[in-house]
Structure 1
Amino acid sequence: MAKVRAVIVGGGFGGLRAAEELARHGCSVTLIDRNAYSTFQPLLYQVATGGLNPGDITYSLRSFTGRFRRTMRFRRATVTGIDTGQRRVITDVGDPIPYDYLVLAAGVGANYFGIPGAAEHARAIYTRAEALEVRDLVFGRIEALTVADPGSSVSMVVVGGGATGVEMAGALAEMKQQGLPIAYPEIAPDRVRIILVEMGPQLLAPFRRRLRNYTLKQVQKRGVDVRLNTGIEAVHADSVTLSDGTTEQADVVIWGAGIGGHSEVADWGLVQGAGGRLVVDDDLRASGQDRIFAVGDCAITPENPLPQVAQPAIQMGLHAARMILALEAGETTRPFAYADRGSMATIGRSAAVVELPVGPNLTGFPAWLAWVVLHLAYLLGGRNRIAAMVNLGFRYLMYPRSANAIIGDLDRDLPQLER
């Protein structure tokens, strides 16, 4: 088995799980990622709102591969092509990398659905760099209010009522309600508006009705202006046009309305489906391929799309690795079966929802505590867990006595507020 060469593209949940399983079974594994670190995406919104340092949720991929130094190597690169005939992965740096089996776990980015101005003016939070950009933009806009006309205001529009949108809107609302009066006493809280726009009739649509209703009440309780059954028609430099024909001030637009495959995936010569994601068969092999697997958010089974969260990616990565081992042993592959372990989303301090496949559904403090414990447990590295626990604990236990937030260099070139 040591001669089997496996290449893993992407250092997220699915890619790392596949790499670990194959390395433990003696395969020669090459892990490729455009970044030198793995990002714990579920907590990026905390970076974007100043609750966590980016280092709290990123982990060195060289440290990861160092655990398997006899069987695993890392290359920091972007995959530009796949030569299926000669079984080689082409990257933007270094020689092509040969493979016997290839696992694609490249993740996704924002999908703007062709909405005019969205790609230019909206901000996503799918990467560390994007989260930092949002953080500095948000705090920069608030700082600008301190010297602006007393009649001016800042409006932050969050697009998408899924977990990303709800968690982002909730964190912004708590910052406004509890942090603003302490850190910015010269700014009246009503000068900062948080708007959450969802084109469907409810927030957290995949959850059960009781949890959806709880979420809506909790978000509104925190002062978020929720617009259901409302789409985005266009995004402008300082406003958004909604599907009801109205135009709303939008100094910051945060996009959490959909995902799509990275643009370079189109150059890989594989079958793509909705949103540019890679179409896979029931055993997770890419459509029409016998040695290429795709897992996580970058993969889609059109007849049975899975939630774009960590658990499906982890389970898919493990399944792909085991199917590679099965093929090498002369066995046939098996269809992937997702074991639903439940879903959760947090709204703010002591407010969250947890939906379990069996047993009771949780809301309030028990759900929030479960959310905190689970997210800390899944962070890579003991240092990250401790740092995240300290920073999250400080944010939630010290509010509203302290408004300390983690910020960086604010953009001095932002347009002056005149409203």
Structure 2
Amino acid sequence: MADNALPHVLVIGGGFGGLWATRALASAPVRVTLVDRTNHHLFQPLLYQVAMAGLSSPDIAAPLRHILRRQHNVVVRMDVARGIDVEHRRVRFDGGSLDYDYLVVASGARHAYFGHDEWARHAPGLKTLDDALHIRRHMLEAFEAAERAVDPRAQAEWLDFVIIGGGPTGVELAGTLAEIARHTLPREFRHSDPRRSKIHLVEAGPRVLASMPPSLSDRARRQLERLGVSVHLGKPVTAIDERGVDLGDERIDARTVLWAAGVAASPLGAQLGGDRDRAGRVRVAEDLSLPAHPEVFVVGDLAAVAQDGKPVPGVAPAAKQMGAHAAAMIRERIAGGATRAFHYRDYGNLATIGRMAAVVDLGRLRFSGALAWFFWLWAHVFFLIGFRNRLVVMAEWIWSYVTYQRHARIIIGRRDES
């Protein structure tokens, strides 16, 4: 059969959901087009390590064309999706339009500032490599500005940091930033003391890591406090500006504010029709397809999926499983078979707080501390794409563990004017 006679599967998004769907179609009688706005797949769980200067961009990312170079039924295209016409089975991109027989939408999520988009200017979030490099520059330049400052109050503002959001990203950023200030930088500055930095972690809810059992949340909070992080619980943010954050009547002066508090689904979800939840995620059928368009599948952070009365979490393992399931259902439809409901397998939840400090929830088995940290390290290295990436990341972590140094502390680009 000629290639152009094969069913065309169009996959939007080269993250975990889109890439796993594409890979799962490797031997299927289809032709696949994978489209992403970047040319790489990003291992997002380690993105904070790039932001905190522990790893370089290529350590946690790999070109999509390289990953899929041996999969001959796929074409990779770098482009931006602008519109989806489900009635005519067509997607409009910056570079033209593509028709499809089956569509997998895995365009992910973006930052959500809960109706205060003006906060984005002062509190950058962390979703892409560009975000990570921006935050790294912002963080390192704060220490440089403190070194230049003559006024003690101005110096204190530059040495203080606020991270908003007590989920895994916020906890990891706060713990790592505390280690940088306490252990990595002190001997390198002459007129300021990075050890005087105050790291504030702000969470509107009653505990950090709310998706974990209360006992592990409490351990994580105590581990953060041992690192010198001030944890503010039950404190919703009411204002953010270039000089700090307001928590109701409380003010925290800080020139560096990082956002890790919320996400909203990709705006492409609105073009698919049908119901969406409050975060903009598309409500899909049990097999992950659109109820009115069974040839369209939605996976990853864009899909609103419930199991046993609880939403499937927006984490990498869930996106991988959804992508693989969507690919299997496309195979079934092509073969004339019946589709089946998606079932999420929860292999556990884990987060690192800092050096030799982490929490792990594997269901019946829960633990924290050094053992959890080594488990977290093994899990993340094991799931990295590419043998070279695993070796590099392991070498960097060993070096960082022995020396407390972070090799990627290079400032590039220009600071945004404010």
TM-score by length of 1: 0.93
SS of the equivalent of 1:291 reads strand
Match of residue 81, structure 1, among 79, 83, 86: 83
Structure 2 unpaired stretches of 5+: none
Contact 1:116 1:235 in 2 (8 A): no
Aligned to 2:182: 177
Query: What is the deviation of 1:312?
Result: 0.6
Q: What's the counterpart of residue 379 of structure 1?
A: 384
Verify: 1:138 aligned to 2:142, yes or no.
no
- CA–CA distance in 1 between the matches of 2:295 and 2:413? 47
CA contact (8 A) 1:156 1:253 kept: yes
Contact 1:140 1:410 (C-alpha < 8 Å) held by counterparts: no
**What is the deviation of 1:163?**
0.4
Q: In the alignment, does 2:352 pair up with 1:346? A: yes
- Which of 336, 354, 361 in structure 2 is aligned with 1:355? 361
- State the alpha-carbon separation in 2 of the partners of residues 98 and 68 from structure 1: 21
Do 1:171 and 1:348's aligned partners in 2 also have CA atoms closer than 8 Å?
yes
Structure 1 residue 334 displacement after superposition: 1.2
Q: Which amino acid aligns with 1:389?
A: M
Q: Is the 8 A contact 1:271 1:286 kept in 2?
A: no
Amino acid corresponding to residue 366 of structure 2 in structure 1: N
Deviations 1:259-304 (A, max 9, x none): 1123354345454322222221221112432111111111113664
1:406 aligns with 2:409: yes
Q: Which residue number corresponds to residue 68 of structure 2?
A: 65
Choose the corresponding residue for 1:332, options 331, 338, 347. 338
CA contact (8 A) 2:148 2:191 kept: no
Letter in 2 for 1:110: H
Q: Does 1:187 align with 2:192?
A: yes
Answer yes or no: is the 8 Å Cα contact 2:86–2:272 preserved in 1: no
Q: 1:288 aligns with which of 281, 292, 295?
A: 292
- CA 1:410–1:145: 2 relative to 1, 3 Å: farther
Change (3 A) 1:116 1:32: closer
Any unmatched runs of 5+ in structure 1? none
Distance 1:309 1:294, change over 3 A: same
Cα-Cα RMSD: 1.9
Structure 1 equivalent of residue 50 of structure 2: 47
Partners in 1 of 2:196 and 2:344 — Cα distance? 46
Question: CA shift at 1:388, angstroms?
Answer: 1.5
- Matched-pair contact (CA < 8 Å) for 2:350–2:361: yes
Secondary structure of 2:87's counterpart equals coil
Question: For residue 345 of structure 1, what is the amino acid of its counterpart?
Answer: A
- How far did residue 377 of structure 1 move? 1.5
2:23 aligned residue: 20
**Aligned residue pair count:** 409
The aligned counterpart of 2:203 is 198
Indicate if the aligned counterparts of 1:194 and 1:225 stay in contact, CA closer than 8 A: yes
Equivalent residue for 1:257, pick from 251, 261, 272 = 261
* Percent identity of equivalent pairs: 39
Q: How does 1:105-124 map to 2 (within 5 A)?
A: 105-115=106-116, 117-124=118-125
CA distance in 2, matches of 1:160, 1:413: 23
How far apart are 1:160 and its partner, in Å? 0.6
Shift of 1:239: 1.3
Show the counterpart of 1:91: 93
CA 1:164–1:374: 2 relative to 1, 3 Å: same
